[in-house]
Amino acid sequence: MGVAWILGIRALLLVLTSFLGNSPLAEAVLGALLVDVASGRAGVAWVSEELGRTELRRRCVYAGVIAFAAIGLALAASVIGGFAALRGGAPSVMLLASLLGVFTQAIRDELLLRALPFRFAREAGIPDGPIVVFTALLSPTAFLLSGATAPAAFFSFSSGLLFATMYARWSGAWAAIVAHSVVLAVSGPLVRGGLLEVSFVRGELADGALAAGAPAIMGGVLMSIAALFVWLKGPALIPGPRAPSAETSS
């Protein structure tokens, strides 16, 4: 049943892309809305246990900081290693639109690739470990057939591993969405003419199939380390009951 929901929603997203491919922001916003409505019909909740606002905010802050550290270190290592050049950016109003697109893309992907599989797999009694790995493997599937490089697939998988681990350890989609948004923003609009301008001369650290070379490999390694840290230390960082096996309504 879970696979049917994933494939069905993915098919609807492809139809949406065919109509709105020339408008990335509209595609991201409508795609997030479509996935939210469809996953809600499938019984998916944004959180897997009852959380107060303060507790939810803490988890999101921890998720954002860890994701920022991982992607920020990857960018810094790329510059220090001579794979990229850094100079000042030129922020504009369009940066806000780009960040909106980043946030809605993160919502779309985390609900589809993490929340939906977790909902059905936990109901089937599958432990969180295998679900984390499976949902991480879903991340590069969107571009594998487009001739993506191995570093791109590795970076996408490792990023998905971090987001999936946060979903499992920190009670649902919000922490994963925040972390995903941070990675997309820091590797995208914020350093592509926003706050900074990072120009890669060898390889690329970017979302999806655009990632390549040593920067993508370094990013993947750091994302994997961050995922291991959250898996081992996440519950201790933010004490609380483990997520139950079945999703509960937010």
Is residue 250 over pLDDT 50? no
Phi-psi region of 49 (alpha: psi -120 to 50; beta: other; left: phi over 0): beta
Please check whether residue 208 is in contact with residue 147, taking contact to mean a CB–CB distance below 8 angstroms. no
**C-alpha separations of 19 from 7, 16, 35, 108, 186 in Å:** 19, 5, 17, 17, 28
Q: How far apart are CA 73 and CA 224, in angstroms?
A: 13
Per-residue pLDDT band at 5 (split at 50, 70, 90): confident
Q: What mean pLDDT value characterizes the chain?
A: 88
Contacts for 141-144: CB closer than 8 Å, 24+ residues apart: 142/208, 143/208, 143/209
> For tokens 């790329």, what's the residue?
78
More confident residue, 22 or 239: 22
* End-to-end Cα, the chain, rounded Å: 22
Q: Does the pLDDT value for residue 74 go beyond 90?
A: yes
DSSP class per residue in 61-106: HHHHHHHHHHHHHHHHHHHHTTSEEEEE----THHHHHHHHHHHHH
- Buried b / exposed e across 163-174, counting CB within 10 Å, b at 16+? bbbbbbbbbbbb
Q: For residue 98, which amino acid is it?
A: S
Rounded to an integer, the average pLDDT of 93-117 is: 93
Nearest to 106 by CA among 53, 42, 166: 166
Single-letter code of the amino acid located at 194: G
Q: pLDDT by residue (tens digit) across 211-233? A: 999 999 999 999 999 999 999 98
> Which of these, 120, 176, 158, 89, lies nearest to 7 by C-alpha position?
120
> Of 34 and 243, which is predicted with more confidence?
34
**Bridge partner list, 85:** 199
Name, of 12-16, 160-164, 230-234, the range with top average pLDDT: 160-164
**What is the structure's pLDDT at 239?**
56
Percent of the chain with pLDDT over 70: 94
For residue 192, give the 3-state DSSP assignment: strand
